[in-house]
Amino acid sequence: RGALVRAEQFFLEAVMALDGDAMTRASAVDHVRYTRALAMRSDMPSALAPNALYAVEHGFLSSGVEAAAGDVSYARALALGAARRAISTGHLSNAIFALYEAARHGAAPAAAEMLGQVPAVEGRLLPALVAAIEALAERDGGRLEELGGRLEELGCFLHAAELTAAAATVAAAQGRATAAARLRIRAQQLAERCDGATTELLRSRVGDGLTTREREVAAFAARGLTDAEIAARLSLSRRTVQTHLY
């Protein structure tokens, strides 16, 4: 959800409290490492050796740590390997978490292909993550924007920021500069709720190349103003605003 400071404190307390419980303590240490990786911190505690029951979670959490250290290829391999193990052992939730981790590090096509081995899941979060992996693989900007909104409603602000940023990148590649700027601003607003967290998807955002007027339109749209309200604020026709945005 992006609450890194609170999460790190919780997991540090867990590390202290779980002395003697090797598997659960290893998980807590990995979560400390993962939260610090999201904040691009270098003060990492050493990982504890995982046992077989914990290998999947260890794999995809370690993926985040490796990506933050700059070894994105290894991060992808760890996440996809964790997903394969989770699928083979029937741990569907962890399989989807691992596949999303791979997708956020640039392996969305491979992750989407592996989704074919995952049975349908229920609930709100897991189906949204499945759809996000597919949208990232297909570079479906409209779907990415929609899913960003859905994950924001679930309180998953970091995921929402990532998908909105990815939608901005797609819009920019399509030559929709103002739409890209609107989405980029929204992604930044969401990222600012995440205690400094960053990921490969957020780090890969592109510059806008907009005029001052296009930036103004995008900024008002990101604040939730309607086309008519933006037109009135900037003394433009509604059609001109829509041309900039869509």
The pLDDT tens digits for 181-229 are 999 999 999 999 999 998 888 876 545 556 667 767 887 887 788 999 9
Rounded to two decimals, the pTM is 0.83
Q: Does the pLDDT of residue 153 top 70, yes or no?
A: yes
pLDDT at 20: 82
Burial degree of 104 (CB within 10 A; 0-12, 13-18, 19+): buried
Supply φ then ψ for residue 183, to 5 degrees: -70, -35
Distances (CA, A) of 11 to 53, 94, 96: 20, 19, 22
Q: Does the pLDDT of residue 151 top 90, yes or no?
A: yes
Residues 199, 67 contacting (CB under 8 angstroms): yes
